[in-house]
Amino acid sequence: MKKWDAFFKQRFGPLFLLALIICSISFITRLILLIKSWQGLEFSALYFLGIFFIGLFYDLVVSCFFAIPVALYCWLINDSFFQKKWQRIPLFLLFFILIFIIVSVAGSEIVFWNEFNVRFNFIAVDYLVYTNEVLGNIEESYNMPLIISAVILITLLILFFVRNWLTLAQQSSMRFGKRTAGFLFFLLFPLAGYFLVNNHFKNISKNNYVNELGGNGIYEFGAAFWNNELDYNRFYLTNNDTANIKILRTQLQTTNAVFTNDPLSVDRVIHNDSAEKKWNVVLISVESLSADYLQYFGSKDNITPYLDSLIPYSLFFKNFYASGTRTVRGLEALSLGIPPTPGQSIVRRPNNENMFTMGSVLKSKGYDVNFIYGGNSFFDNMGYFFSHNGYTVLDKSDIPDSFVHHSTAWGIDDEAAYNFCIQQCDKSYKKGSLFFNHLMTISNHRPYTYPEGRIDIPSTSQTAQGGVKYTDYAIHKFLTDASKKPWFNNTVFVIVADHCSRSAGKTDLPVNRYHIPCFIHAPQLVKPVIEDRLASQIDLAPTLLGMMNINYTSRFLGFDLFRTPVERDRVFISTYQDMGFIKDNKLVILAPQKKIAMFQPDFSTGNASQVSLSPELCKEAIAWYQGAGFLVKSGKYLFKK
C-alpha cells in the first residue's frame, strides 16, 4: 500500500481517494447486478469488457460531481489550518457523508433493479417528489433500522481502511494561487461531464441488460431528472403536421363519424342510427395487473381464480396492451384516449386543464362522474388532473374510517375503496342519475400487505403473489356485493390494469411487459366474447362510448374497435423516451436524437429481431406520436361543450 502513498500525498489527494472509493463501490454494484441478470444477458467478451470499461467511465464522471465539495475544502483551507490534526474531523465527516450516500445508493439501486431490471430512471425521479408515500412504503417493506445500521457500519469500515491515505494530504503544502489553479483545472472535469457526456454512450448492444449494466445509477438518475419532459419536434423524427393529421383522419374514419372542416384537427361528429344506451359505467384501473398473472395466459400460481372464472362471462380482450410503465400513463390513456408523448404523463404536466376526457363526455350527458382513489390524490397530480377535467375527485380523506380494514403508506385496502364506490353508485341511483365511477386500486403494490383472513397467503409474507390474489379477492367481493344492488343490471363493469408489474427485458421495449387483461363485464348488457383483436388502452374510452351509442364530437385518438376495420389495429407502448408503435406484427421504435428502428417482436417472450424499415409504417408511427403532441400543444385536444 506504500506505493499509493505518493499518489494521495498532495493537497488534492482526497479527490483521487474519493474517486477510488466510488469506482470500487460501483464496480461491486455492477458485478452484483450482472450476476442477477445473467440469464437475460447476450454474452460476448466484447460486451463484457464494454460493460465494465464504459461503466468505469460513467463512474469517473459521477466521481467528479461528488468530489466538488471535497475540492472546495482542499482549495479554501490554508496550510496553517489544513495541516492541523483537528482538521481531520471535518475532512472525515465530509467523507463519511459522501460514502454513506454512495453506499446507500448502491443498496437502493440493487432493490430498484430487482423490481424494474433497470438503473435509476424516470420512475425514480417521479418517486422523489412523493417522499411521504415512498419513504412510508420503504419503511413498511424493509427493516430500515437494520439496513441503516448496516450502511453506517460499511461506511465506517471503508473510512477505517482508507484513514491513512486520507490524512496523507495534510502533510502537503500549496500556496493559494497554485491551489486556485488546481481547483479551476479540476472544475473542467465536472463541466465536461455535464456538457459533453450523455447517457447514450452506454448503448453498445441491442440487449437492454448490457446497456443498463454499463451505466451508473446516479448518473442515470441525473439524466432522467434533467430530461423529464422531452419536446417531440426537437428530439424525434418529424413530418409535416398537415400530412400527419391527414394520416390520423384516415385511420380514425368510421361510418358513423363526420370530420369537421379543420384540416389540422381530428374533430369528428359521432352520430349513431340507434338510440343512446343509458348505461352506468364503473371503470376499475387495477394496480400492476400483468396478463401473465392470469391462469388463462399460462400462470401456474392460481392467484387470479375469480378473474379467470370471469372470462367466459365477459367481453374479454386477450391482446390488450398498456401504453406505459406507470400508473399515470395508464390513467392518461384510459381517460384521454391519446398515445403517450415523450417525457412525463399529461396527468403530471402543467396546463392540463379542460382536456377531452371520457369523464367530460359523460358529464356533458348528465352523468355523475367520479374519480375514486384509495390513497392521497396529491400523488402523481391525480387529484388536480381529474378535478380539472370533468371528474369529482374522492380519495382516502373522503372514505369513512369504518370502511377501512388495512392501511399502508400508499393508502387503504381495496375493499374499502370498493365499498365506498358502491356507496357513490347508491347515491347517484337514489337521486335518479346515471353514473361513471373510475376507481384506481392500490393494494397490489409493495409492501403487498392487506387485511388478514381474506386469502390463503398471509399478509405478512409480503409477496407480489399475495398482492395479486388479494386484488382478485377484492374484485370478486365487489362484484358480488354490487350484484345485489338495483343498479347492477344496468351497469357496465370494466376491469383493466394500469400497467404491468415489470417493464424491463432484454430489449428496450419488450412487448410482453405491456400485455394486460381487459374485461367488460355486464351480464344483462354485453354479450360474452373472447376478442382477439390487437387493442391499446387508448381504445377503451371510444369503444365503450361506441357500445353505448353515445353521440358526441370526438377528439379521441383511440379507435372504436367495433367500428374500425381489423387491418388498422395497432398498439402504443412506451418508456418516458422510447415510443413504440406496433402494427402488422412489426414494432417501430422512435427514440431521442431522431433515431428510428423497426423490429419483429416476439409477443410471448418480449424478444425482438431488427428488420428493415418500412417507410409506410414509419410515417404512420411518426404521425401518431407527433400528431398527439401537436394536438395537445395547439389546444386542439381540449373539451368543448
pLDDT tens profile 528-550: 999 999 999 999 999 999 999 99
Residue 478 pLDDT greater than 70, yes or no = yes
Cα dihedral across residues 253, 257, 258, 260: positive or negative: negative
Residue 1 pLDDT greater than 60, yes or no = no
Which has more pLDDT, 569 or 14?
A: 569
| Cβ neighbours for 259, distance < 8 A, ≥ 6 positions apart | 249, 253, 266, 267, 268
Secondary element (H or E) of residue 597:
strand 595-601
Q: What is the pLDDT of residue 201?
A: 86
Residue 593 pLDDT greater than 80, yes or no = no
What is the tens place of the pLDDT at every residue in 330-354? 999 999 999 999 888 999 888 899 9
| Cβ neighbours for 213, distance < 8 A, ≥ 6 positions apart | 30, 33, 34, 37, 51, 55
Residue 131 pLDDT greater than 80, yes or no = no
Residue 213 pLDDT greater than 70, yes or no = yes
Residue 230 pLDDT greater than 70, yes or no = no
Q: What is the pLDDT of residue 128?
A: 62
- Lowest-confidence pick of 76-80, 166-170, 239-243, 296-300: 76-80
Query: 174 φ, ψ to 5°?
Result: -160, 125
Q: What is the pLDDT of residue 172?
A: 76
Residue 138 pLDDT greater than 80, yes or no = no
Q: What is the pLDDT of residue 262?
A: 94
What is the tens place of the pLDDT at every residue in 34-69? 998 888 787 788 888 889 999 999 999 999 999 999
pTM of the model: 0.77
Q: What is the pLDDT of residue 281?
A: 98
Task: Report which of 551, 544, 536 is spatially closest to residue 628, judged by C-alpha positions.
Answer: 536
Residue 153 pLDDT greater than 60, yes or no = yes
Q: What 3-state DSSP class applies to 63?
A: helix
Residue 13 pLDDT greater than 90, yes or no = no
Q: What is the pLDDT of residue 133?
A: 55
Report the distance separating Cα 293 and Cα 295, nearest Å.
Answer: 7
Q: Which residues of 74-91 are buried (b: 16+ CB within 10 A; e: fewer)?
A: bbebeeeebeeeeeeeeb
Report the distance separating Cα 13 and Cα 7, nearest Å.
Answer: 7
Please tell me what DSSP assigns to residue 276.
P
Cα dihedral across residues 134, 406, 299, 314: positive or negative: negative
Which has more pLDDT, 501 or 159?
A: 159
What is the average per-residue pLDDT within 325-329? 92
What is the tens place of the pLDDT at every residue in 356-375? 999 999 999 999 999 999 99
Q: What is the pLDDT of residue 42?
A: 75
What is the average per-residue pLDDT within 490-500? 97
Q: What is the pLDDT of residue 41?
A: 80
What is the average per-residue pLDDT within 391-406? 96
Report the distance separating Cα 441 and Cα 473, nearest Å.
Answer: 13
What is the average per-residue pLDDT within 81-95? 77
Q: Tell me, what amino acid is at 191?
A: L
- CATH class of the domain defined by 234-559+571-633: alpha beta
Residue 276 pLDDT greater than 90, yes or no = yes
Report the distance separating Cα 407 and Cα 451, nearest Å.
Answer: 9
What is the average per-residue pLDDT within 601-611? 93
Secondary element (H or E) of residue 147:
helix 144-168
Q: What are the extents of the domains in the chain?
A: 2-226, 234-559+571-633
Which has more pLDDT, 140 or 75?
A: 75
What is the average per-residue pLDDT within 10-16? 86
Q: How confident is the model at residue 127 (pLDDT cuts 50, 70, 90)?
A: low
What is the average per-residue pLDDT within 27-31? 94
Report the distance separating Cα 260 and Cα 578, nearest Å.
Answer: 32
Secondary element (H or E) of residue 282:
strand 280-286
Q: Which three cell numbers stand for residue 601?
A: 417482436
Q: How confident is the model at residue 228 (pLDDT cuts 50, 70, 90)?
A: low
What is the average per-residue pLDDT within 181-189? 93
Please tell me what DSSP assigns to residue 275.
P
Report the distance separating Cα 398 and Cα 418, nearest Å.
Answer: 13
Mean pLDDT of the chain: 91
Q: Are 398 and 383 in contact (CB under 8 A)?
A: no
Residue 400 pLDDT greater than 60, yes or no = yes
Question: How much of the chain exceeds pLDDT 70, in percent?
Answer: 93
What is the average per-residue pLDDT within 570-582? 92
Residue 428 pLDDT greater than 80, yes or no = yes
Report the distance separating Cα 25 and Cα 487, nearest Å.
Answer: 60
Q: How confident is the model at residue 310 (pLDDT cuts 50, 70, 90)?
A: very high
Q: What is the pLDDT of residue 135?
A: 62
